[in-house]
Every structure is written in structure tokens, then in C-alpha cells.
Amino acid sequence: MNCVQEISNFSSHIILSPLTYNYMKRGNFTRAIVLTLAGIFMTSAIWAQGDKSKRPSPPETVTGSAGGATITINYSSPSVKGRKIWGGLVPYDKVWRAGANEATIFETNKPIKIEGKELPAGKYSLFATPGENEWTIILNSETGQWGIKRTGEANRDPAKDVLTVMVKPKKSASMQEHLNYKVTSPGFVLSWENVEVPVAIN
């Protein structure tokens, strides 16, 4: 089978651009193949964006009961991949989106208290400021935004902060490759790499 036949058969399964066909007619098969492969790559990238489960940090949802309410946390779960997370990929003393991709969402169907502070029922963006010995947990009324700005900073308007509490991190019993949230009767726990951060709800 010659090169023209191979490209012709291949093109029966995908849509080639007019520019690619022009190169084929001129006999410039190398450029035609490059353009074809580029088209396949771009199409795959678009499909991957549409299917969030194929992202490097796929979406996760956890739901549970705490403080007499149903708590739901929607987040994207990045992986360690051999990197130093705390004080490395995620700097200390800098606001973090508490996940990846879109801002992490914390939702409660009833009023609750987080670390003794009242939080009305509703949906909030969850941010955190990690520290070696203490973390700040932030709930913000703005939701649905991408988690970071183009500058790399957390996409948070401090004027819309609804609740801010301080909590203590602790070393986890085992290595946690993927960022994970759990909701239990005492509250919720963020776990990743070698750290877990419990937050009380009542």
C-alpha cells in the first residue's frame, strides 16, 4: 500500500482540513501527516476538556452527615507524583484553592458550626492557608470560579469570606497519593501526602 492509499484510508475515520488535502494533492505527504496528527491531538484535547474524569486531577464528590446536616464537598483530586507537596508544590502561608481546577465547593443543607463559628446553610468555595503548625480554613460566598487566577494566586475575593477558622494539621498514618476529603460525624478531614487536617463541625 502506497502513502496516498494509507492517508486515504486513515482519512476515512477522521475529518481532514482543506489545508491537509491541498498538501496531499501537491505530494507533500510529510506536511499532510503532521497536520493530520496535529488535528487528532487537538481533537483529543477538546474531548479531554469535555470529559472532566480524564483530567490529571479528576473531580471527586464526598457526602456525609455532620452537625445534624448533610455536608457535600466537590473537589478535584491532584496526585503527589513524587513531588514535595507541603512547603513545595503548595507553599506555606499562601491561600490555596484546597484542590485543583475549579474552586473546591463546600455545601451544607442546614446551619452548622465549624470550629465553634456559625455557618448558614448554603454553598461556599473552600480555601485553605497551609502552615507547618497551623492552617486557616476559609469559606467564601463566591462559587463556580476557576480556582486560581492567571497569576497563580487563589481566585478568592476576601471581601466575600463568610467564615475563617484556625485548625491544627497532623501527620497521617499512611501516605496519601491523591488529595482526599472525608466527611464523618466529628466534621471533615482533608488528607494528602503525609498530612491530614481535621475540621470540627457541630
- 72-94: per-residue pLDDT in tens? 999 999 999 999 999 999 999 99
Domain boundaries, the chain: 3-50, 56-200
Spatial CB neighbours of 83, under 8 Å, sequence gap ≥ 6: 89
Coil, strand or helix: which one is 173?
A: strand
From residue 78, alpha-carbon distances to 63, 98, 100, 177, 191 in Å are 19, 10, 6, 8, 11
State what percent of residues in the chain have pLDDT above 70: 75
pLDDT tens per residue across span 148-184: 999 999 999 999 999 999 999 999 999 999 999 999 9
Question: Which 8-state DSSP code applies to residue 52?
Answer: G
Query: Is the entire prediction scored with pTM above 0.85?
Result: no
pLDDT score of 100 more than 50: yes
What are the Cα distances from residue 92, in Å, to 7, 72, 141, 148, 189? 53, 26, 24, 16, 19
Residue-wise over 52-89: b if at least 16 C-beta within 10 A, else e? eeeeebbebeeebebbebebbbbbbbbbbeeeebbeee
Please name the residue that has the C-alpha cell 486531577.
57
Measured between alpha carbons, how far is 1 from 21 in angstroms, rounded to an integer?
A: 19
Residues 6+ apart with CB under 8 A from 14: 36, 39, 40, 43
3-state SS class at 184: strand
User: Which of 153, 66, 147, 57 shows the shortest CA–CA distance to 107?
Assistant: 66
